[in-house]
Chains A and B, each alone.
Chain A
Amino acid sequence: MSRLREWLADGLLITDGAWGTELQARGLTAGAAPDIWNLTHPEQVEAVARAYVDAGSQVILTNTFRANAIAMDGDLAAVNHAGVAISKRAAGQRALVFASIGPAGKLLAAGEIDEGQLQAAFAAQAAVLAAAGADALLVETMSDIAEGRLAVDAAKSTGLPVIASFAFDSGRNKDRTMTGATPEAVATAMAAAGADAVGANCGAGVEYAAALCRRLRAACDLPVWIKPNAGLPVMQETPDGTAIRYDMPPDFFASHYAALREAGASFLGGCCGSNPDFIRALVRVRCASS
């Protein structure tokens, strides 16, 4: 049995919620790269990680989403290493740490970048995340199957379990990625690439997640990772200026728990718009339903 399946032996694991907005609440300026805070404000990053562990997250991620050589400049080895170290300190023995690998932000199909550059960037990031002691690697918010495959290959070479999660936010039914990939195509390709789990994160919102989960689950024999957005952002005037907030209440988000478990989700958390209150709400619903 794979390590991933051992972790899931007692049932669904609750993961974490959004990090960027939580870091902003702690002073990260709009538009600044959150990953750099692993070096400049490690105590604030750790406070976010700890808030999720305290809320009941059994899996937390790392603040390393953009820390690949194509999306970001700087000492990426240090940023990635610190990101894992921070999350591990916050998790202690209470949660697993899955290290986040996000997309490069450039499109292969448009010729903005080639496979060799992507492969090198993902391999460098994955190696540092693994060496720093991550429990698993999460390739997330992918749109392009070819890029996802390169990231999974790089992540697999570390020997850690690998989850491949895509953002389904396009098409009339919000069931395609930006490049047009369906859940079936994603699940089949990622299973073939050797991913230990497949998933859907970010995307259109929690109300679309159960259908995506069911389709991913039906298309491969792997556990499914689900981390949807909490609705869409709205603007709010505050005394300090204009703020963006999400208007979905945590309890409404958590009310999708039963449908998502039914649909076959093995990992469940939130993406943009969620916060530790959403994780607490999920934990409450799970306690009440078991």
Chain B
Amino acid sequence: MPDLKKLHEAIIDGDWKTAAAVTQAAIAAGEPPLAIVTGCLVPAMDEVGRRFECEEYFVPEMLLSARAMKASMEILRPLLAATGAQPVGRVVIGTVKGDLHDIGKNLVAAMLEGGGFEVIDLGADVAPQRFVETAAARNANLVALSALLTVTMTSMKTTVDAFCAAGLRDKVKIMVGGAPVTQQYADAIGADGYGDSAGAAVALARKLVTA
């Protein structure tokens, strides 16, 4: 009998070794991979997000939980692909051109993955054209842009503009976030949404893909 409650706890506690072991055991016991994701990983990461919102968790705890979730996902991903299960959405994420900061971006990427999205992480210092090309080639429906510096947040606008110029603006929703970014800035550059935390980013992404 697979103990999915233990997997749920391992993710909330950030214990990747237990998360991986319980996932293996659950698969061996015949648990469907998609049921593990939707019934366990997604609610566990939602709980992590909730704890972040109410200040029980901060960035380090979230990263540990994300790592535990990833350990489980690495086992499940090939199995999910084999069953043809579709992700909630496909998101291309990166820190914009000129900006090398990736702590916040990594956190959002992990939370989105934990939220059931397929995440294509382009890393940091990503040129607008790379976002456009990757989104087109991978048929993504969401693009997530991060910036930590006031001096690089203008690259968000050039990235949004690049999607417009490529005629792909109506194919993707674009969400933005990062320390200096505000709702007002997101509105001003024509982004579809702004999240002020990694937890908020998941809720926003879900809203955007179902809109």
Contact = CB atoms under 8 A, between A and B. Distances in A.
A92 interface: no
Contact of B60 (A24, A30, A180, A235): A180
A30 B98 contact: yes
B159 interface: no
Interface in A252-290: 272-273
A30 B151 contact: yes
A248 B155 CA distance: 23
A244 B150 contact: yes
Interface stretch (A53-61, A166-174, A218-226): A166-174
A107 B60 contact: yes
Contacts of A171: 55
A78 interface: no
Contacts of B184: 234
B153 interface: yes
The listed residue with most B CB atoms (<10 A of its CB), out of A30, A32, A170, is A30
A232 B181 CA distance: 8
The listed residue with most A CB atoms (<10 A of its CB), out of B55, B58, B61, B100, is B58
Contacts of A105: 100-101, 103
A243 B98 CA distance: 15
Contacts of A107: 59-60, 63, 103
Interface string B51-68: 000010111110110010
A272 B63 contact: no
A170 B152 contact: no
A110 interface: yes
A110 B64 contact: yes
Interface residues of B, number: 32
A176 interface: yes
Interface string A142-182: 01100000000000000000000000011110001111100
Interface in A205-263: 232-235, 241-244, 246
Nearest to A204: B179
Interface residues of A, number: 35
B191 to A, nearest CB: 11
B63 A232 contact: no
A31 B60 contact: no
Nearest to A237: B188
A199 interface: no
Nearest to B151: A30
B201 to A, nearest CB: 15
A20 interface: yes
A160 to B, nearest CB: 29
Interface in A80-133: 105-107, 109-111
Interface in B21-74: 55, 57-61, 63-64, 67
B55 A244 contact: no
B58 A170 contact: yes
Interface in A23-51: 24, 29-32
A24 B55 CA distance: 36
A21 interface: yes
Contacts of B153: 233, 244
Contacts of A170: 58-59
Interface string B72-107: 000000000000000000000000011111010010
Contacts of A30: 98, 151-152, 154-155
Contacts of B179: 169
Contacts of A176: 55, 58
A110 B155 contact: no
The listed residue with most B CB atoms (<10 A of its CB), out of A106, A171, A241, A244, is A244
Interface string B141-184: 00000000111111101000000000000000000000110101
Contact of B55 (A109, A111, A172, A243): A172
Given A176-B58, A244-B180, 10 more contacts: A30-B151, A105-B101, A107-B60, A110-B60, A169-B179, A176-B55, A180-B57, A234-B182, A234-B188, A272-B150
Interface of A: 20-21, 24, 29-32, 105-107, 109-111, 143-144, 169-172, 176-180, 232-235, 241-244, 246, 272-273
18 contacts: A21-B151, A30-B151, A30-B154, A31-B97, A31-B125, A105-B103, A110-B106, A144-B60, A171-B55, A176-B55, A178-B103, A179-B60, A180-B61, A233-B180, A244-B150, A244-B151, A244-B153, A244-B180
